[in-house]
Structure 1
């Protein structure tokens, strides 16, 4: 039980040490499990000729495993090491064995070299230096010390180690090493301990889970690609997001990762016409006639013209968006819907009728009184502002007199106003005259004021 306790104590030391420091390097921890062989012969400490059991010279019969090596046919070694920096690491190893070959049989019968199943326990700490860190074959040297028990008698040792790792992949490999263990006490003999086992590296931190350890990950909190040191390329265009002006849209390297849908060399996010190939000078918009006005703003996209004429060789004097060649009112600002002529609004219509109602006639006649000249002049001015609009001059009477008389009077008065307007510059084709007699009163015919309101002329836009 005492031997078992020592072994457990050694294992606890190893496992306890594995939790001492934070894991801040790529796979900083290495655990190795394997077998060990103990050899007391090739140390050169006790020549056979002098009654000893060891070799006469250091290293003699170093590889004579059959005659000198003590091997326990089971897992007999465990070690844990922590990477420090610059190829250096520190580890602790626990081992056990059974000794039944204690060097060679001595010629001195007083020396008891024949042994049977002596127990062997060891706990050792070693600082190692790896020469070719990160390579498949990884040789190392080590220096350290420990404590070894043989047949329950222990002593301290100073150890020198030489070995190598062969890594099958990033985490798993084979470790082979030889340690020279020099004892400080006479009752423990200096010896060699050879070890071979499987090693596993672990403990690397990969916060974002992209397979790149935080130590080497330029973007440790965001999953990325190895090609970009762990930084992402969201749109998969081969340009990492931090250098991509359009990280969510696959694009071109020459445009800093932005797309160019129309292939005109201007990135879509800077192209005013991203679906149509255009010119850089016009922010990616086309100019079919080459007049410097983009087709979208060019009223004559296939005929070159100055920008002042909106790209047309013809002017738009009144600036209403209808070129003079198509403008039926080139001198008056109008609307596109009305061929460049102004449209009569409800307000204009109301003004016309307000004036028309004030036209005065001789009683019972169609003769216009002279004092109506001013208001008729105002009406003519309005009609000239709308040179393409057509109007109907309507006559109305009150209910005094017969229907026939009133109809005839309303017709006459409407025609009288029409003739006056034509004689004073309004084209006849724009005007028509129509009498309604007493059929459309706008007030009561029972009062003088009402009858006065019903006696009127209206000028309405022809529909």
Structure 2
């Protein structure tokens, strides 16, 4: 008998130790109530006219699944009856293990249940275990209800029937075996350490986001809060109250240009980062929203308002202005014309004197002066077979120098010619030396060397017959030509 009781107790402890929930949740309870007896003399169950005897109890239970748990219940108190047929009372200690079926799920605040199991009944106030003092509850069953007062505390009401395996506790063996009814009420307490790897307050078995960083607020599923429902958790969302996109840390971008609406000067029109989200249609570096000249040609430099630069303020933009730093008319592409001859100063060799296009802006040499230059050329003479100028030629060259100074941009070409007397080599050399003599003299009178070219042609370009003295005299000549 003792071995049977010990076996039952070990079985109870084993069930409690091995039974587990995914959260490893235990429950312990303190109970109290009244007992009633059903035996051969009377049936006191739910008979309010019969005496009630009190008891106290302790329970320990383990969650198995959403609708099942196992409970160990130990009680100590009195049981008996008092009727016309006789009187009976005794100390009673019980230990039972019951499987409980919870009708409603664990999230319900009120959970009715049914229970069934078995155990041992000890009739000895000194708890001395012997075959004479121990009966077995075979079975125990009943039902109850739990009211959730908080996540950790529940109010428990329970009715437990225990049918004994014997029929002699009231002194009479007749009919069915003795039975006992326990009316109990108590408080039970949930405890135990649940698995919560990420410490977010949601058990791992319920946690759909088990790797939430520490300190991040989560919903009932253990996932980080996402107030704007954009799929980006609030703790990573730079705009937690407005739905956005992942690439912009949860901020919106209506125009899809990669710039958040909060930082986008033109949130409804796609633009560039350089333009702070605004477009620049003409590519001049000024956003359309600020551009007063939105059609600027590519490559034109613009000012802050997006208009092409016009340094000299002549109405012609720099890129189209040949003289961007000097105001001029459109007809001359923005270049000035001081002398008003229709030739831009930049092209005018005589910018302070009206001239002609043919003379690059310089005035025409008058016909009289052109004629005079030709006459001067015919009066330039040299010593025989020499490049030395005759004295009579000097006055002529002085006059030529005066004309050249008057037309300071005119160039002079000097051509030297000889007759056919002597070798070609000698004549070429002599004619070259004579033109150089004229050039040197004019330079001495202030005419720049760059304006004068001197070329000796020898006897190669005769203008008369070298067979006569008159012809040879005509061939020995100097020719002067002006040009711009």
* TM-score (normalised: structure 2): 0.50
Task: Answer whether contact 1:31 1:200 (CA < 8 A) is retained.
Answer: yes
Displacement of 1:149 after TM fit? 1.6
Q: Does residue 1:20 correspond to 2:10, yes or no? A: no
Q: Distance in 1 between matches of 2:30 and 2:452?
A: 122
Q: Answer yes or no: is the 8 Å Cα contact 2:160–2:182 preserved in 1.
A: yes
- What are the within-5 Å matches in structure 2 for residues 164-313 of structure 1? 164-187=145-168, 189-203=178-192, 204-222=194-212, 223=214, 224-227=216-219, 229-233=221-225, 238-239=227-228, 243-244=232-233, 247-256=236-245, 258=248, 265-266=254-255, 270=259, 274=263, 276-283=265-272, 285=275, 291=281, 293=283, 295-296=285-286, 301-305=291-295, 308-309=298-299
CA distance in 2 between counterparts of 1:191 and 1:81 reads 22
Distance 1:153 1:260 in 2: 71
Does 1:147 pair with 2:120? yes
Contact 1:23 1:205 in 2 (8 A): no
Structure having greater relative contact order (Cα 8 Å, sep ≥ 6) = 1
Q: Does the 8 Å CA contact 2:301/2:308 hold for their aligned counterparts? A: no
Matched, 1:39 2:36: yes
Separation of aligned partners in 2, 1:270 and 1:177 = 66
Residue 71 of structure 1 aligns with which residue? Answer: 54
Q: 1:87 aligns to what? A: 67
Query: Distance in 1 between the 2:322 and 2:268 partners?
Result: 33
Deviation at 1:171, TM superposition (A): 1.4
Aligned-pair CA distance for 1:243: 3.2
Q: Does the Cα contact within 8 Å between 1:251 and 1:259 map onto a contact in 2?
A: no
Which residue matches 2:78?
A: 98
Q: Residue deviations 1:301-320, cap 9 Å, x none?
A: 3211157346979899xxxx
**1:208 Cα deviation after fit:** 2.9
- Bigger drift between 87-96 and 201-210 goes to 201-210
Q: d(CA) in 2 for partners of 1:269 and 1:245?
A: 20
CA contact (8 A) 2:228 2:243 kept: no
Decide whether aligned partners of structure 1 residues 264 and 89 sit closer, same or farther in structure 2, where only a CA change above 3 A counts.
closer
Paired residues, what number? Answer: 303
Counterparts in 2 of 1:87 and 1:22: CA distance versus 1, 3 Å:
closer
Q: What are the within-5 Å matches in structure 2 for residues 309-328 of structure 1?
A: 309=299, 325-327=317-319
The equivalent position to 2:140 in structure 1, one of 132, 141, 159, is: 159
Q: Is residue 103–residue 112 contact of structure 2 (8 Å, CA) maintained in 1?
A: yes
Instruction: Give the whole-Å Cα distance in 1 for the aligned partners of 2:208 and 2:35.
Output: 47
Query: Displacement of 1:36 after TM fit?
Result: 3.9
Residue 135 of structure 1: which of 102, 108, 128 is its match?
Answer: 108
Q: Provide structure 1 residue ranges, at least 5 long, that are not aligned to the other structure.
A: 47-51, 317-323, 332-411, 425-463
Deviation, structure 1 residue 24: 0.8
Tell me which residue corresponds to 1:438.
none
Larger Rg: 2
Within the candidate set 88, 91, 106, 1:114 is matched to: 88
Q: Is the 8 A contact 1:54 1:104 kept in 2?
A: no
1:37 CA drift (Å): 2.4
Cα deviation digits, residues 226-264 of structure 1 (max 9, x gap): 53622224xxx6257953599252345432475799x97
Structure 1 residue 35 displacement after superposition: 1.7
Cα 1:266–1:153 change in 2 (3 A) is same
Distance (whole Å) between structure 1 residues aligned to residue 96 and residue 187 of structure 2: 18
- How much is the aligned-residue C-alpha RMSD, in angstroms? 4.8
